[in-house]
Chains A and B, each alone.
Chain A
């Protein structure tokens, strides 16, 4: 094993270095705040001769994803990056990438969607793509951003999966923030991630085939079933790959990671960078003798219902903290967790909190507040509003 190199880098640099270690062949990308540093760095790596890849400058994110699909169909290893409106513009092509079963990895700088225009962090961009058939991972910090990129290639390219993967890093909070990161040695990543050879055929003029063909009503549904079986099957692959990564590189990853959950009455569930602040809140509440725990959701697609239910067994109340909202319904994590519990007899009280939209800060005191509200619902049986908004600016009149 080579030595891991410790350095201080921004989140975008972490995902770029993670991608570079995976030796991508083609990188079609279109810059957008807050992800711009990713294509800039990949261009630099290519221009400096550190990475042997084709950088394709395109005229839009729709074109970027189209080029990703074309390149991936030839069997190339492909990565890109985007955010917010860029991911939204790709939306049409995202379904084609997954439907054609083309593994690729996209680093997303999770950012709010317009209108009003906002360049700051929330998860609406990727959550709006949760039904596109991509796997979705969310990083808590820059180290996770780098590690998850490497894991994403390995998992997506597994012949039991063959699906594209998004790795979300929060806008500014991670993309533009410098943190200490351990970078694995190239030869070890080479061992972990063998070259990709598509088992299901590739676009090659010497062996002509039709790609992206018609799927009539007689067959379309079965193709979709097969695709869903693949993402369902990815559950075991994710566990295997995370375990192997931990053995090789010493850092543990889980679909859902518990913190102080063993004897907890109330558990907070978070995704992305807010997890760190939530952990501070749990530490503080534990000092006060409160029985509170935390679950960090790293894998949002496939949604880890079995793991969550196992961790939450015996828990009385769950605060599901969504940095996104499906207007007219709930936050995405809440909907999925509530559905997972529908037919269970024993289940905790679930409360849905929406916060952190468009870069709104989520402070330690806000997590304490969400804990208290959930505890109150458990103690009194008064569940409160179906969706609670947290850290609302009282100076804004509506």
Chain B
């Protein structure tokens, strides 16, 4: 791949880390039970990768970036999130 380097190593393409999908790091995958979810969004606050989106009733995951760390499941006050082994 040809790369054009810039003066002073300035990367003018802000947010380019979006192009680096880290979902492949995952061995365990979060599953949310929206029946149990109380939309407190604690998981959203704690997710270190911004891989959780708020939806009207509850949350949804962006699995392109979820590394499967399990912090969301650990923080969920109503145990609506479980980590399951990913089937590939």
Contact = CB atoms under 8 A, between A and B. Distances in A.
Contact of B2 (A115, A116, A397): A397
B1 A398 contact: no
B66 to A, nearest CB: 27
A397 B8 contact: no
A151 B9 CA distance: 41
A397 B5 contact: yes
A218 interface: no
Contacts of A115: 8-9
Contacts of B9: 115-116
A395 B5 contact: no
A395 B5 CA distance: 10
B5 A396 contact: yes
Contacts of A395: 1-3
Contacts of A398: 5
B13 interface: no
Nearest to A114: B9
B4 interface: yes
A310 B34 CA distance: 80
A7 to B, nearest CB: 33
Contacts of A396: 2-5
A115 B8 CA distance: 8
Nearest to A393: B3
A376 to B, nearest CB: 30
Interface string A112-137: 00011000000000000000000000
Contacts of A116: 9
A397 B4 CA distance: 5
B63 to A, nearest CB: 30
Nearest to B4: A397
A385 to B, nearest CB: 21
A115 B4 CA distance: 17
Interface string A372-398: 000000000000000000000001111
B81 to A, nearest CB: 34
Nearest to A117: B9
A240 B2 CA distance: 53
Contacts of B4: 396-397
Nearest to A397: B4
Interface string B52-73: 0000000000000000000000
B58 to A, nearest CB: 39
Interface in B1-43: 1-5, 8-9
A116 B8 CA distance: 8
Nearest to B11: A116
Contacts of A397: 2-5
A116 B5 CA distance: 11
Nearest to A115: B9
A116 B11 CA distance: 11
A116 B9 CA distance: 6
Nearest to B2: A395
Contacts of B1: 395
A65 B2 CA distance: 43
B32 to A, nearest CB: 37
A398 B2 CA distance: 11
Nearest to B9: A116
A395 B9 CA distance: 16
A116 B1 CA distance: 20
A396 to B, nearest CB: 5
A359 to B, nearest CB: 15
A116 B3 CA distance: 15
Contacts of B8: 115
Contacts of B5: 396-398
B28 to A, nearest CB: 28
B31 to A, nearest CB: 37
A113 to B, nearest CB: 13
A398 B3 CA distance: 9
A318 to B, nearest CB: 32
Interface of A: 115-116, 395-398
Interface of B: 1-5, 8-9
15 contacts: A115-B8, A115-B9, A116-B9, A395-B1, A395-B2, A395-B3, A396-B2, A396-B3, A396-B4, A396-B5, A397-B2, A397-B3, A397-B4, A397-B5, A398-B5
In the A-B complex, list the 4 residue pairs whose CB atoms are closest, starting with the nearest: A116-B9, A397-B4, A395-B2, A396-B3
